[in-house]
Homo-oligomer: A and B are copies of this chain.
Amino acid sequence: MDETRTVNVGLIGLGTVGGGVAKLIARHHDEYLRAYGIDLRVRRACALEEERAAELGFTGDAFTRDWRDIVEDPSIDIVVELIGGEHPATEIFEAALGQGKHMVSANKALLGRHVERLAALAAENGVQLKCEAAAAGGIPIVNALEHALVGNDILCIAGILNGTTNYMLSRMDAEGLDYDEVLADAQRLGYAEADPSADVDGFDAASKVAILSSIAFHTRVTTDDVYMQGIRKVSAADIEQARDMGYRIKLLGIARWTAAGIDARVHPTMIPEDHMLANVSGAMNAVFVVGDAVGETMFYGAGAGSFPTASAVVGDILELARPIAEGSAPAAESEPYESRVPVRSIADLETRYYIRLSIADQVGALAPVVAAFAHAGVSISAINQLHDGETTGVADGACSVVFLTHTAAERDVEELCRALEALDEVASVASVIRIEDVEAWSAGAEKND
């Protein structure tokens, strides 16, 4: 370590995360040099606003508005893409990898759709592509899957992968508020965007499920393969009912390795209140991972925010910088995932269901409803009429009734819901929430001696 060379980073994007990365590297420069022998500098940053760049210390030659200046700069070793979205991020990846630059990115939307193609491009060009921050923000889960847990067959990943929706569900639970009230408040406080769709409809979590399952299962799963249902239909009444039954409702991203293919889905999920994931509240994230050898593990932390995400980005940068500082090169990205494990259709899911119906409040209304369950082959384990005041948005002359099922097939429940909607006695199928069999997540793990 007597002779080290400066490792130059090119930073594209100086928003929340990019700004955090710039500050973190500047503040820790001397320490990275002393502790790891890495003289790490942001050589050049690309942003739209010159003023923002200047605030962060990027002026003159160190600032550019054109990302091409970064990817074509021969002095830059590592290109860090933090602008998000599909374009021009795709063009940046292609150009930077083509120029033989190692890349670090937090772009979950792009990587959720194209991680395999971009990893293959990195491999072709003899460079590495790292994306810890795209999988669960500051939580070091990609590193764990690729290194410390690499001796395991990963059996299941189940995570609270979106902070906005976990914040909303936590407040609905703690304060008995309904979805609309909490959303408005979350938007006011900056926890939710003006257009909350990517969060509340599950797209953000589905992108992360795609990235995590591609890495964990050594196969290709894209965001479009992941079944997605958001939290818009979850009501305060559902949350209270869940609590009475000993459950919490969380928006989970689940990826399981099963004999019939990969089960990959995002939806509101009832889990037992004593499960580790049930106690993750507020905007925090957590990823529960089951490996055949290690058994049950969980990784908890901030899934977003400027410095937590920067922590993951800088961790990736330093991994690449170590060999560069010593005058060698990081290993090229491995040729990706030859295997093509099919992703199961959600219709093949078998689980228990919580179904809340708005039913005509009249004698005899229940009979045709119960008959519809029987006809669809969905077995009922409990029926519970909710008391007045427990639900909002119920039509006049209707009441809310909760049905719990035994294990049923999703395709049968879908058919059931269509049949229920067609009944005169049913005003609406207000919510359908899957009750997860969390014990099944560990099926296939080794028994300890």
Query: Do A295 and B19 contact each other (CB < 8 Å), given the known contacts A311-B149, A315-B147?
Result: no
* Bound CA span A278–B152, Å: 28
Residue pair A308, B279 in contact (C-beta under 8 Å): no
Chain B nearest CB: distance from A70 CB in Å?
A: 21
Question: Residues of B contacting A28 with CB < 8 Å?
Answer: 151, 153
Say whether A143 faces chain B, with CB atoms less than 8 Å apart: yes
Contacts of A10 in B (CB 8 A): none
* A23 CB contacts on chain B under 8 angstroms: 446
Q: How far is the CA of A62 from the CA of B206 in the complex (A)?
A: 48
The smallest beta-carbon distance between A426 and chain B, in angstroms, is 39
Contact A318 B150 (CB under 8 A): yes
Alpha-carbon distance between A242 and B280 when the two chains are bound, in angstroms: 22
Residue A291 lies at the interface, judged by CB distance under 8 Å to chain B: yes
Chain B CB within 8 A of A362 CB? no
A181-189, A221-229, A297-305, A370-378: which lies at the interface: A297-305
User: Does A1 belong to the interface (CB within 8 Å)?
Assistant: yes
Cβ of A126 to closest chain B Cβ, rounded Å: 13
B295/A301 in contact, CB under 8 A: yes
A59 to B378: give the CA distance in the assembly, Å.
56
Within 8 A of B (CB), among A303-360: 305-308, 310-312, 314-315, 317-319, 322, 326, 331, 334-335
Measured in the bound complex, the distance between the Cα atoms of B312 and A276 in whole Å is 22
If the complex has contacts A296-B302, A297-B299, A308-B295, are A149 and B153 also in contact, measured as CB distance less than 8 A?
A: no
Q: Is the CB of B148 within 8 A of A315?
A: yes
A11 to B315, CA, bound (A): 32
Is A449 an interface position by the 8 A CB rule? yes
CA distance A218 to B28 in the complex (A): 15
1/0 contact trace for A246-281 toward B, CB 8 Å? 000000000000000000000000000010100110
A144 shortest CB reach to chain B, Å: 5
**Residues from chain B with Cβ under 8 Å of A317 in the complex:** 151
Query: Which bucket holds chain A's interface residue count?
Result: 35 or more
A90 within 8 A of B: no
The answer to whether B24 touches A151, judged by C-beta atoms less than 8 angstroms apart, is: yes
CA distance A301 to B448 in the complex (A): 14
Residue among A148, A305, A317, A331 having the largest count of chain B Cβ atoms under 10 Å = A148
A140 at the A/B interface (Cβ < 8 Å)? yes
Chain B residues closer than 8 Å to A150, beta-carbon distance: 36, 314-315, 318-319
Given A147-B315, A311-B152, also A294-B300 (CB < 8 A):
no
* Interfacial residues of chain A within 153-204, with CB under 8 A of chain B in the complex: 153
Cβ-based interface call for A414 (8 A): no
Q: Which residues of B sit under 8 angstroms from A35, Cβ to Cβ?
A: 218
- Is A16 on the interface with B (CB-CB < 8 A)? yes
Give A contacts to B, CB under 8 Å. 1, 16, 19-20, 23-24, 28, 31-32, 35-36, 132, 138-140, 142-144, 147-153, 218, 274, 276, 279-280, 284, 291-302, 305-308, 310-312, 314-315, 317-319, 322, 326, 331, 334-335, 445-449
Extra contacts, 19 of them, besides A20-B293, A293-B308, A307-B448 (Cβ < 8 A), are: A20-B448, A24-B446, A28-B153, A35-B218, A138-B293, A140-B147, A140-B149, A140-B297, A143-B147, A147-B319, A148-B312, A149-B315, A151-B311, A279-B279, A294-B307, A300-B300, A305-B448, A307-B445, A322-B331
